[in-house]
Amino acid sequence: MSERIVVKIGSSSLTSEEGGLNRERIAFFAAELAAQHARGDEMMLVTSGAVAAGFMKIGYAAKPKAVHEKQASAAVGQALLMQAYQEELSQYGIVAAQILLTRADFSNRRRIQNALMTLEELLKRRIIPIINENDTVATDELVLKFGDNDNLSALVAAMTKASKLVIITDMDGLYTEDPRINPNATKISLVEQISEDILKVAGGSGSAVGTGGMRSKIEAARIAMRGGVRTFIGKIQTRDDLANAVSGSGKGTYFDTKLHSLPMKKQWLGFHSIPQGVITVDNGAVEALLVRGKSLLPAGVTAISGDFHPGDVVEVVDTDGATLGRGVVNYAAWQLQAASGLGSEEVARRIEVNRIEVIHRDEWITLKS
């Protein structure tokens, strides 16, 4: 039975430490993708490497740090990267398509729907979409940038309802400690829930040309799992490693999930939308939202921040500041400021709002693991 699979390859797997493309590695990954494609699977590739591929061509001695220098490097490197993939995949009779995305594309519901329709058409035509962040126009502002392509790959996997996400790294999975430092570190083969303990064991970036460390990969796995996508993080180094990773016997760690794929509306709300404010709630509201599946009422609100309006997305946190989830708010910030802590009948007498619920349960998604 064919599957829909997203594969993410980082800069360190495609380039040398000094920079520039390693064509042997690209040829290897193209062969692995082609083999899986020949089995009937629908393959999508999320690739890093544009900046690393381009900065030497421009004349920089090392990977640049200034935004405009990175963007110039990406403008050159993206063309080199796509040319390399096109040439290698064409040897197997496969056409590759380039898809460049920004955070703004995901935050707009119409644009994300258009992106999904494009991907679906390409897959139907047995074309491999090659996806990357549009570094030449993206900014370094947190709300507008993915941060790294681990996050992007998880969002793409959830959006397209992929069955599996394969994140390639230079480590053969997640360990209790960094095995490069402690040889007695123990490998974690299966993760069914991403706890704080799991996040703590993740280290930083291991390469001078990459941006994503193990923690960012685990965060990506969390997004994918919330979208019902099983995730593999590990090594793809030798022939058939990708096939083994897909089949369940790969060199890495599996992140399993019993959750089902989220509807597009919930995905957009949870992963793509940009919150316009933050609402703090008391313990009673926490239980109502997380345990009893209820709507958020004004009585449970203890504080607000931001200048939001009815229909905006807001983040909801507990009194310790821990994120509970996101929802579409029915109040303007000034209205909720006046209504917070009050009972529903009192709010109805004092404030004119279309719905008494601050966030209706149908317009809410929990982000707790």
Q: Residues forming the annotated binding site for ATP?
A: 8, 169-170, 211-217
CA distance 145 to 158: 18
6 backbone φψ class: left, alpha, beta (φ>0; ψ -120 to 50): beta
Q: Residues forming the annotated binding site?
A: 8, 48, 135, 149, 169-170, 211-217
Where does 139-213 have alpha helices with state H?
149-159, 196-200
- Please name which of 143, 29, 35, 149 lies closest in space to residue 87, comparing C-alpha atoms: 29
- Count of alpha carbons within 13 angstroms of residue 253, beta-carbon side: 25
Q: Are β-strands 277-281 and 251-255 bridged in parallel, bridged antiparallel, or unpaired?
A: unpaired
CA distance 222 to 262: 13
* Amino acid at site 40: G
Pull the structure tokens for residue 310.
């009815």
Q: Residues forming the annotated binding site for substrate?
A: 48, 135, 149
Tokens 């590695």 found at: 25
- The maximal CA–CA distance of the chain, rounded, in angstroms, is 71
Pull the structure tokens for residue 204.
């930083």
* Amino acid at site 28: F
β-bridge partners, 191: 255
Pull the structure tokens for residue 94.
């496969």
In this structure, the number of other CB atoms found within 10 A of the CB of residue 176 comes to: 14
